[in-house]
Structure 1
Amino acid sequence: MRVMCTVSAWPSHYYPMVPVLWALRAAGHEVLVACPPSQAGPVSRAGLTPAPELGELAIPFLARLRNVWDAQAGTWPYDWVPPHPVTGADMSSLAEFGYADFARASRQLIAEPVARGGQAAIDLARRWRPDLILHEPLSMEGLLAARVVGVPSAVHLWGPVGTHEDDPAIRAVVEYPVGSFTPHRAGPLTLDTVTHVIDPCPAGLAPPVDATRLAVRYTPYNGPGTMPTWVLEPPERQRVTVVWGSSLTAMFGPPSLAVRLILAALADLDVEVLVGVAGQDLDGVGPTPANVRLLDGVPLHVALPGSAAVVHHGGAGCLMTSVAAGVPQLVLPTGMDQPANAARLAATGAAIRLPRAEATVQRIRDAVTSLLDVPEHRRAAQRLAARNEERPTPAGLVTDLEKLAAG
């Protein structure tokens, strides 16, 4: 069969789909990934075939816009002004972003790319004639194309946030401008109208879904990279891995970078520290203590084995990769879906949640010490990992997808 997939310009949101697409290829099916032009390289490096036809939805703009709205409503939890939604530059006052900026940027960065991408997905589906369309929650072009051409579809979740959420703060992450796809007369196109959901979350972490749930094991793919042989050596001291997404600085401003704070908290502990940061965030880390090793081009799933704890910002990719590895987590959620991710994981006992706005050196040190010293956290993390292993592999999911396409 032919399987078309649509993805957004946010790699960590579609990376969980990659093992499933590999499994479809290995089973002899054709796979084509419709993507924004910026993702043609990442898709190709994943060993898949891109069709760079979709619009470039400016997701950092959406996040920064939400932050400005929160600041205007008095719910922004930080003591600095959020970055300018369009440029990402520092603002001294919210007044620097006005209604005219909002109207122009919303049209250019959201409405136009979404409308263009929707039409492109339909055109591609009509020409390529897929039997099934898969998409991730930020690429609703896939659901649109499936309805227009009349083929089954399924959305692949990236973590603990589901398709039927009551909290508007979570639902806003995946909504498009109202009416973007109305001209195609495909009916309501929101996540709570999907019929099939591929859910990679183990029991105890499963998100709200009111549709046919297709279970799959979360199989980490964190992008291409190398495995240094030293990660195979047992650490001489307990190892703590620290990961901070580079996108956070762009969306929440440089003060949101918590790595320096985390390293100060770990400096007095008898631990070995691995730090995964990239891009401009490396400059913000500054000099590192002697017990710190920087990870360069090492995928997270390669670095985690041997770790006694992991500290991160609450992104679904970090969280779910750590779940699969059975490592207890300290989650410092900064915004977007991260608070929900952190709360749901903490409820399993496998993590401690410490909101970024409340994080101090002492509170981080206390939380990491608890993860290292209290065995219940590790046992809970290992239970989640075992439940993940019990789920169908991506290869095992292929049969369900074949039945969906046939039916």
Structure 2
Amino acid sequence: MRILATVSGWPAHYFPMVPLGWALRAAGHELRVACAPGQAAAVRTAGLAAVPVLGELDMVYMARFANLWLARAGAWPYPWAPLHPETGEPVDPSTFDLDGYAETAKRHIARQTETSFDAAIGYTRRWRPDLILHDRLSAEGLLAAKVAGIPAVAHLWGPVGTDERAAELYPLPVDYTRAFPRHGAGMLDADAITHVVDPCPSGLTPPVRGIRIDMRYLPYNGPGAAPELPPAGRRPRVCVVWSNSMSRMYGRGAYLVPRIVAALAELDVEVLLPVHPDDRAALGELPPRVRLLDQAPLHLLLPGCAAVVHHGGAGCAMTAVDAGTPQLALPFGPEQRAIGARLAAAGAGLGIAGHEATRAQIRDAVQALLSTPRHSAAAAELAAASRSRPTPADVVRVLATLTTAT
């Protein structure tokens, strides 16, 4: 088979597709990944063939733009101002000309979206793939498949699906250019997606329409060296993982690592803290029993950890699910809040709104994860359910049946 994958402009959206890409190549199939030029290096580093033809849509820019609308509607929950989409400086919503700025922003988004749609359709015509795989926000792959009359399969990156009722979860992108109806491909909605690869175990299953293709989540957290850690001692290990994109999207108040570390210092635990070198200065002096690490793939850190504290991102959450590690999510974005709530509903974690989480609340929540057997039992159950799912190699065979049926 020839498989074309299209991916959106955020590595965490397509990293969960990488093991399936490896499985396709190992089975002898051809795979190319259409991406924006800014994503090509990450795709190539994963060992996949990048085709950097799509438009550049900066996800940080998109998040900041959406936040301005929330602020105007009175739905910005944070005690600090939202950020300007381009400069990243705080903006006073009461004086900022959002309507005027929105005209420029929407034209930019439409141009980049149209570039992506045209490029995906054109490359599909030239290369003639048998099937297109796309992440949830990469609608260009779905459109190109419909125009070419070949199967399209969406690939989820975590427990948020294509048929979410809450609009703030952005289950699908907005077709600003009306490219779908212009190409005779109907509307871009949940009904347009007929097949979905779902890596979430039962207990975290998100809502989708169409045919669900179950797959085990195999963590790919990007490149990195295995950390040299001594054997765990008598103290439980707690890993703290925080994306610097939180500050870039939501403001400096969304950097909670110092507060988390201070909370954990009040417990008899050992803390693993992987940090990007650029973020070390913001930490200040660290308390004892905090082991500062260079950034390393999370799936190499979590074995042996009794809990993990993170921002609610799907990559962190799903990697912890695979490891069977109880989780505390401190989310800021709506998708992260949904993930934290779904982990809590499954019993495998707890969630506190990031901007409301005090040091005492963080300390008590981690203590609850460590001392309450039901959390570790639920996390172990999720891990067992995840590992019992079909492997990426199994899913390759399912994809092959879709191409022979058309």
Query: Contact 1:40–1:51 (CA<8 Å) still a contact in 2?
Result: yes
Distance 1:190 1:381 in 2: 33
2:55 aligned partner: 55
For the residues of structure 2 that align with 1:128 and 1:203, how far apart are their CA atoms? 37
CA offset at residue 243 of structure 1? Answer: 0.7
Deviations 1:289-345 (A, max 9, x none): 121122313111111111000001111000000000000000111113111111111
Tell me which stretches of 4 or more aligned residues in structure 1 moved more than 4 Å: none
Select 1:287's aligned residue among 273, 282, 285. Answer: 285
Instruction: State the match for 1:43 in structure 2.
Output: 43
Amino acid at match of 2:90: D
Q: For residues 291 and 190 of structure 1, do their structure 2 counterparts lie closer, same or farther at Cα, with a shift above 3 Å needed?
A: same
Shift of 1:96: 3.2
Would you say the 8 A contact 1:246–1:277 is kept in 2? Answer: no
Return the letter of the residue paired with 1:207: P
In the alignment, structure 1 residue 2 sits paired with structure 2 residue 2: yes
Secondary structure of the residue aligned to 2:62 is helix
CA distance in 1, matches of 2:234, 2:37: 45
Query: In the alignment, what sits opposite 2:334?
Result: 336
SS in 2 for 1:230: coil
Corresponding position: 1:212 with 2:211: yes
DSSP 3-state at the match of 2:216: coil
**Residue 3 of structure 2 aligns to a residue in which SS?**
strand
Distance 2:186 2:93 in 1: 41
Matched, 1:298 2:299: no
Out of 261, 266, 276, the residue aligned to residue 264 of structure 2 is 266
Secondary structure (helix, strand or coil) at the match of 2:170 reads: helix
Q: Using the aligned pairs only, state the percent identity.
A: 52
How far has the Cα of 1:280 moved from its partner? Answer: 4.5
Matched with 1:85 is: 85
| SS of match in other structure, 1:294 | strand
Alignment correspondent of 1:171: 170
Residues 114 and 180 of structure 1 are in contact (CA less than 8 Å); yes or no, is this contact kept in structure 2? Answer: no
Measured at CA, do residues 98 and 189 of structure 1 come closer, stay the same or move farther in structure 2, by a change above 3 Å? closer
CA offsets 1:91-135 (integer angstroms, 9 cap, x no match):
355523532222112212x11111000000011111111001000
> Partners of 1:42 and 1:18 in 2: how far apart?
11
In structure 2, the residue matched to 1:202 is 201
CA distance in 2, matches of 1:302, 1:333: 23
1: distance between equivalents of 2:164 and 2:98?
31
Alpha carbons of structure 1 residues 346 and 175: separation in structure 2 relative to 1, 3 Å: farther
Partner-residue secondary structure (3-state), 1:95: coil
Mean CA deviation greater in 166-175 or 2-11? 166-175
Pairing 1:23–2:40 present: no
Q: For residue 202 of structure 1, what is the amino acid of its counterpart?
A: P
Residue number in structure 2 paired with 1:118: 117
- Residue 158 (structure 2) aligns with: 159
**Cα offset for 1:87?**
1.9
5+ residue gaps in structure 1?
A: none
**Corresponding residue for 1:364?**
362
Instruction: Tell me the CA shift for residue 171 of structure 1.
Output: 2.8
Q: Is the 8 A contact 1:163 1:192 kept in 2?
A: no
Instruction: Tell me, in whole angstroms, the C-alpha distance in 1 between the residues paired with 2:86 and 2:95.
Output: 14
1:302 and 1:392 map into 2 onto residues whose CA distance is 22
SS at match of 1:174: coil
8 Å Cα contact 2:162-2:171 kept in structure 1: no
SS where residue 384 of structure 1 aligns? helix
The answer to whether 1:74 aligns with 2:74 is yes
Counterpart in the other structure of 1:397: 395
Partner letter of residue 280 of structure 2?
Answer: L
Give, in angstroms, the shift of residue 237 of structure 1.
Answer: 1.7
Change (3 A) 1:148 1:184: same
Deviation track 1:334-369 (CA, whole Å, cap 9, x = no partner) reads 113111111111101000111112200000000000
Count of aligned pairs between the two proteins: 405
Conservation of the 8 A alpha-carbon contact between 1:235 and 1:306? no
Q: CA deviation at 1:148?
A: 0.7
Assess if the C-alpha contact under 8 Å between 1:175 and 1:190 holds in 2: no
> What's the secondary structure of 1:151's corresponding residue?
coil
Report the alpha carbon displacement of residue 229 of structure 1 after superposing the two structures with TM. 2.6
Q: State the shift of 1:272 in Å.
A: 0.8
Q: Where in structure 2 are the equivalents of 1:364-383 lying within 5 Å?
A: 364-383=362-381
Residue 238 of structure 1 and its aligned partner are, at CA, apart by: 0.7
Q: Secondary structure in 1 aligned to 2:270?
A: strand
**Aligned equivalents of 2:371 and 2:33: distance in 1?**
45
Name the TM-score, length of structure 1 as normaliser.
Answer: 0.96
Aligned-residue offset at 1:275:
1.6
In 2: Cα distance, 1:349 partner to 1:41 partner = 38
Cα offset for 1:175? 3.2
**Residue 234 (structure 1) shift:** 2.7
In 2 relative to 1, CA 32–266 (structure 1 residues): closer, same or farther, beyond 3 Å? same
Contact 1:349 1:376 in 2 (8 A): yes
